[in-house]
Amino acid sequence: MKLLLDEMYAATIAEQLRNRGLDVAAIHDPEYRWLEGASDADVYAAALRDGRAILTENVPDFRRLEAEALARDEPGPALIFTTNHRFPRGDAATIGRLVVALEAYLQNEPEPTGAVFLKPADA
């Protein structure tokens, strides 16, 4: 599965996952930097266009976009949600915990559909 990290995630997460052989891009990577500050609808459309799932904490907005696409009988990207509670942005260990959890998830779910909440690997 190909994955796009929403802008609340550091590009280093995508870099570490690419070093592990996974196809992960971040909005802060040069090829997606045009999405920095863009609307969620633009991020959603870019992920769909590029065949990427989206990792985000923004559950309400991306669920709304998903529902709107379903109502129009249109496809949408798979959505992987996290929370600041499970993966606190202020915690120095969060990047490593996200990398481990995403690597495990991506290796076990090669083509997910719909939406899931990512859990830490130690949960």
Would you say the C-alpha torsion 107, 110, 13, 62 has a positive or negative sign? negative
- Taking CA atoms, 43 is separated from 28, 55, 82, 86, 87, in Å, by 12, 11, 17, 23, 21
40 compared with 112, residue with greater pLDDT: 40
- pTM of the predicted model as reported, rounded to 2 decimal places: 0.93
> Cβ atoms within 10 A of the Cβ of 99, count?
21
Phi–psi pair at 5, nearest 5 degrees? -90, 125
Predicted local distance difference test score (pLDDT) of residue 91: 87
Predicted local distance difference test score (pLDDT) of residue 120: 86
Fold of 2-117: Rossmann fold (3.40.50)
- Give residue 121's pLDDT band: very low, low, confident or very high (50, 70, 90): confident
Predicted local distance difference test score (pLDDT) of residue 1: 86
Pick from 68, 66, 71: which is nearest to 81 by CA?
66
Predicted local distance difference test score (pLDDT) of residue 65: 96
For residue range 104-117, what is the model confidence (pLDDT) as tens digits? 999 887 676 778 89
For residue range 45-96, what is the model confidence (pLDDT) as tens digits? 999 999 999 999 999 999 999 999 999 999 999 999 999 999 998 888 999 9
> Cβ atoms within 10 A of the Cβ of 57, count?
16
